[in-house]
A = this chain, B = another copy of it.
């Protein structure tokens, strides 16, 4: 087991067979375990018993990351009489960690929080950095807070039961980290997408970025590479498309945009595209260019009505534009990339 301190105040434990660790018992706090339906029988029931915790279960899937589910959880906590001396433990993928984190941050102005991410995506991305969120009909993650858990337990044993599709979801964020800041990660992934060292390296990369910019006013925005188009694709698909698929498509498209704007070389773009062709990339049902554009117009990175993109000038390097990490892109600059994406309707 490895322990990593994430500023300002989170302890990350990564290793195998972590869930029996004493450290999970945080003092005399009343503990409520909130678990994704998908891991209820696999882990949640046992863990709740071991921790003498009450158990609440939320549905699986992005659709559960809603104000409705948050309100349901808050009502349950009130009914149980939970005070500020409550510890919420989130057990599940990014939906569970984002949603439970949000609830913990607003319930009685903040109660203690522990995250146990059970998917590769949540381990390398969602659980790290203190972002909490719920989705709205206007788009993904549009409501949320910055709130730091006391601890994160990343139990690699859990990944053994993870479906193939979930591996690709996590890999999409690993590759993104490679593209924007860590060329070594990209190289490792090109050789072996299953290399377990990728996990720790991606977490450490994210910690470095978040540490410099906890509230996302500057550098942290580079993490949004692939996400402007990615989030819009998810919205258009009504969240039927997984986050990883959407991010993979988004990264490919935003690499294409970087090429079209003259920042990225043909050669490196070809190298990037070759990697993403390993994914089964296709546009979601009901995709239409106008809908994508509308969904992007509600993106958080948008400033003063413009759509802003993080762009790369080589593998492993997101660009700076007069000190900012994103650049406004006009509709006509975006046109060639949208045209190119049309070809995905058949296959990539």
A309 to chain B, nearest CB (A): 14
Confirm or deny: A305 has a beta carbon within 8 angstroms of a beta carbon on chain B.
yes
A167 to chain B, nearest CB (A): 28
CB–CB A131/B109 < 8 A: yes
CB–CB B78/A110 < 8 A: no
Which residues of chain B have C-beta atoms less than 8 A from A136's C-beta?
A: 74, 78
Which residues of chain B have C-beta atoms less than 8 A from A23's C-beta?
A: none
* Known contacts A81-B297, A138-B78, A298-B78; A145 and B304 CB within 8 A of each other: no
* Known contacts A78-B136, A110-B215; A105 and B145 CB within 8 A of each other: yes
A228 to chain B, nearest CB (A): 12
Which residues of chain B have C-beta atoms less than 8 A from A301's C-beta?
A: 83-84
Confirm or deny: A107 has a beta carbon within 8 angstroms of a beta carbon on chain B.
yes
CB–CB A145/B106 < 8 A: yes
Which residues of chain B have C-beta atoms less than 8 A from A85's C-beta?
A: 303-304
Which of A83, A110, A133, A144 has its CB near the most chain B CB atoms (within 10 A)? A83
CB–CB B143/A74 < 8 A: yes
CB–CB B145/A145 < 8 A: yes
Confirm or deny: A302 has a beta carbon within 8 angstroms of a beta carbon on chain B.
yes
Confirm or deny: A42 has a beta carbon within 8 angstroms of a beta carbon on chain B.
no
Confirm or deny: A190 has a beta carbon within 8 angstroms of a beta carbon on chain B.
no
Confirm or deny: A24 has a beta carbon within 8 angstroms of a beta carbon on chain B.
no
Confirm or deny: A5 has a beta carbon within 8 angstroms of a beta carbon on chain B.
no
A232 to chain B, nearest CB (A): 14
Which residues of chain B have C-beta atoms less than 8 A from A105's C-beta?
A: 145
CB–CB A81/B298 < 8 A: yes
Q: Which of B84, B107, B110, B144 contacts A146 (CB 8 A)?
A: B110
A122 to chain B, nearest CB (A): 18
Nearest 6 pairs of A and B residues by beta carbon: A78-B138, A83-B302, A85-B303, A109-B144, A108-B300, A106-B143
Q: Give me 10 A-to-B residue pairs in the complex whose CB atoms sit less than 8 angstroms apart, sorted by A's number.
A: A30-B304, A74-B143, A83-B302, A85-B303, A108-B143, A108-B300, A109-B133, A109-B141, A109-B216, A109-B300
Further pairs besides A74-B136, A83-B300, A109-B131: 11, Cβ < 8 Å:
A28-B304, A78-B142, A81-B298, A81-B305, A83-B299, A83-B304, A106-B144, A109-B144, A109-B300, A110-B215, A145-B145
